Structure 1
Amino acid sequence: MTQAPTFAVVSGAQVHEAVAGREAEVTRMVEAAYRLHGEGLTVNPDSYFLRFPDRPSDRIIALPASVKGSVGVHGIKWISSFPGNVADGIPRASAVLILNDAETGYPFACLESSIISAARTAASAALAAAALADRRGPRPRRVGFVGAGLIARYIHTYLAGNGFDFDELGVHDLSREHAEGFQGYLERADKGETTIHDSAESLIRSSDLVVFATVAGEPHVTDPGWFAHNPLVLHVSLRDLSSEIILSSYNVVDDVEHCMKANTSPHLAEQRVGHRDFVAGTLYDVLTGTTTPPADKPVVFSPFGLGVLDLAVAKYVYDQVASSGALNTVPGFFHEMKRYG
């Protein structure tokens, strides 16, 4: 007889404890998930966007997914983005994630997922930075961050955790207060010299690695000339770059079909030219050597964000908490377990 299923709740504090200081290990988990995805061992449907006519900047997104292999779970992330929260002193994004048993389909855990989401996003960016940089020459020593929020902080942490070492770090944000706050973090966390730039142009021109982590809804960087020095660009926020910049760059995405939706910069470029030939390949293609980034063009990585990555990190966290004996289960969560009462 099958054992009665249990249901656990994993708090943000437990998630943080499971991933903090393990950036390289989490990145390997994300790489393994990308490889499973590239090998066809995942199911990753379109994300579903809940939008509000009276609050156009706000949204809640559902990311269902399934991963085979060593991860072996189904699940869904439910993540909200309410940019106005920042002015009220709470984070923009909040999230939960449900893990479902691969055999029975029963949900067996609910995890606080804003940290999981930030960690998988940062691990994806750091993995791409390492894979792309190591195939085109020396690793960048000058990094610039456009956008100074939680995701930028996590990306810096994961870059450092994956062996990146910077001499110069730049920050540009529309809010001087946020830029100064991020500068303070960088000065505590990194030995490189940190500078706040008053313009995106100044930051981009002085950086060999550029990280876009904004809440921009449409392109605001439009001049390909700013990228004439051929930097590596982690286009994490997806909607910052004009079609002209995308079309003049070497473009890598995490998943072509997913990235060509929702008016991302690559999607706008596709609408403009009527094809996808400007996409050189996916991160899986880079990892497997199918495509090699050039040194004489800007290289742009645009990750739409795959639910399979969230599941991989969430299952890792769940296993860490369970093995520590600190798993909090909800007694009697599943009640009607007999077919006829």
Structure 2
Amino acid sequence: MLILGTGDVRQVLDGAETEVVAAVRRAYLLHDQGRTALPHSVFLRFPDDPRNRIIGLPGYLGEDEPVAGIKWIASFPGNTAAGLERASAAVILNSMATGRPEALLEGSVISSRRTAASAALAAAVLASSVPETGVSLIGCGVIGFEILAYLRAVLPDLATVTVFDLDRSRAEAFAARCEARWPGLKTEVAASAEDALAAHRLVTLATTAATPHLSTDACRPGTLVLHVSLRDLTPESILAAVNVVDDADHVCRESTSLHLAEQHSGNRDFIAASIGSVLGAEEPYRRAEDRVTVFSPFGLGTLDLALADLVRRRAEPLGLGTRVPDFLPGPASGADG
């Protein structure tokens, strides 16, 4: 068993935005081509504790060298008050020859980077006729910062960021961190979510909201909303938008905004396309200039596997990680039991 901790994963992924976006793109295309297996994620929830959850995301990518495994990720929002990250995760990769687990990777970095790469890829391919020069970030946590890093990698004209968080001090600290990381980036703190929604035609929602709390009424026509946290927008806003998803069956469940919109409308006709079909199309996509477009990625486990496999392949020749040769039982002795 190869064990790759946070430091190992970061060493591979830091500065590798182009490669990570390419891995996410490839995983989306494989999914659109029917070359994946993707059971529904398993949500472990706790009685009388609606904020916290642990999710299991199994999957399979049928590439030339196929990948199978699972991400096990916990979201405990109260951790931030204790100085801990909200999310923690592990990814297991299995051998496709024997089924035995071969690698255990720290998964929160992988999860945040694939989420950011997915959002940035959508911003690039669901493009407007006018280059994006600014972005509004609602939710000033780890995911928001990673998304900004990946947006800057794929949108070279991005020069301004407007941030908002219910905790003003958190938003101000986030803005200061952005200015320290990217000195040439103009950073503003919005007074309200509505002000942030109106500031730019590219908006990212990355909050811990459990129920819808925002409409898109304040958005300019032609705005692209990267609805990463999935439960921010009202069903009415979803039904009024042009909706692009990663997988309709996955995203229309677990009380996401799209699930609520489906229950309200009785169908999924409000979903216009999947990101995989957009990527595989012969003609470039141009988003509607008179309506809001919403990209809602459920966060497919195959993206985590694609990125975990990238980390493993790059880590091994660098000698990263710890080998545990006796983690699994040795050769079978004969009869079972």
CA distance in 2, matches of 1:82, 1:261: 20
Which residue type is aligned with residue 49 of structure 2? R
Q: Deviations 1:26-62 (Å, cap 9, x if unpaired)? A: 1001100111111111101100011111322100000
Give 3-state SS (helix, strand or coil) of 1:58's partner: strand
Contact 1:79 1:93 in 2 (8 A): yes
Given candidates 186, 190, 194, the residue that maps to 1:193 is 186
Q: CA deviation at 1:70?
A: 4.0
Which residue type is aligned with residue 199 of structure 1? S
Which residue type is aligned with residue 302 of structure 1? S
Which residue type is aligned with residue 219 of structure 2? F
Instruction: Please state if 1:320 is matched with 2:314.
Output: yes
Q: CA deviation at 1:248?
A: 1.2
Q: Give the equivalent residue in structure 1 for 2:47.
A: 53
292 and 275 in structure 1: CA distance in 2 versus 1, 3 angstrom threshold:
farther
CA distance in 1, matches of 2:138, 2:322: 39
After TM superposition, the structure 1 = structure 2 runs for residues 260-279 of structure 1, keeping only pairs within 5 Å, are 260-279=252-271
Given candidates 56, 73, 80, the residue that maps to 2:74 is 80
Structure 1: where are the runs of 5+ without partners?
1-6
Q: CA deviation at 1:139?
A: 2.4
Q: CA deviation at 1:339?
A: 3.4
Which residue type is aligned with residue 277 of structure 2? D
RMSD over aligned CA atoms reads 1.4
CA distance in 2, matches of 1:67, 1:339: 33
After TM superposition, the structure 1 = structure 2 runs for residues 190-339 of structure 1, keeping only pairs within 5 Å, are 190=182, 191-222=184-215, 224-289=216-281, 292-339=286-333
CA distance in 2, matches of 1:75, 1:81: 20
Q: Give the equivalent residue in structure 2 for 1:16.
A: 10
Query: What percentage of residue pairs aligned between the two structures are identical?
Result: 44
Structure 2: where are the runs of 5+ without partners?
none
Q: CA deviation at 1:292?
A: 4.8
Contact 1:142 1:209 in 2 (8 A): yes
Give 3-state SS (helix, strand or coil) of 2:237's partner: helix
Q: CA deviation at 1:325?
A: 2.1
Contact 1:147 1:212 in 2 (8 A): yes
Q: CA deviation at 1:185?
A: 1.6
CA distance in 2, matches of 1:233, 1:71: 35
Q: CA deviation at 1:124?
A: 0.5
Contact 2:55 2:73 in 1 (8 A): yes
Instruction: Please state if 1:28 is matched with 2:22.
Output: yes
CA distance in 1, matches of 2:83, 2:209: 20
Q: CA deviation at 1:71?
A: 5.0
Q: Deviations 1:124-158 (Å, cap 9, x if unpaired)? A: 0000110001xx31221121000000000100111
CA distance in 2, matches of 1:225, 1:46: 32
Q: Deviations 1:222-255 (Å, cap 9, x if unpaired)? A: 3x42124321110000000011111111100000
Q: Give the equivalent residue in structure 1 for 2:130.
A: 138
CA distance in 2, matches of 1:71, 1:54: 44
Contact 1:18 1:321 in 2 (8 A): yes
Instruction: Please state if 1:178 is matched with 2:189.
Output: no
Q: Deviations 1:3-44 (Å, cap 9, x if unpaired)? A: xxxx11001100001000010111001100111111111101
Q: Give the equivalent residue in structure 2 for 1:3.
A: none
Contact 2:138 2:164 in 1 (8 A): yes
Task: Give the TM-score taking structure 1 as reference length.
Answer: 0.94
CA distance in 2, matches of 1:153, 1:286: 26
Instruction: Please state if 1:158 is matched with 2:134.
Output: no
Contact 1:139 1:164 in 2 (8 A): no
CA distance in 2, matches of 1:230, 1:293: 7
Q: CA deviation at 1:265?
A: 0.8
CA distance in 1, matches of 2:85, 2:274: 31
Q: Which moved more, 1:35-44 or 1:289-298?
A: 289-298
CA distance in 2, matches of 1:70, 1:220: 44
CA distance in 1, matches of 2:83, 2:253: 31
CA distance in 1, matches of 2:47, 2:131: 45
Q: Give the equivalent residue in structure 1 for 2:99.
A: 105
71 and 260 in structure 1: CA distance in 2 versus 1, 3 angstrom threshold:
farther
Which residue type is aligned with residue 210 of structure 2? G
The aligned length equals 332
15 and 71 in structure 1: CA distance in 2 versus 1, 3 angstrom threshold:
farther
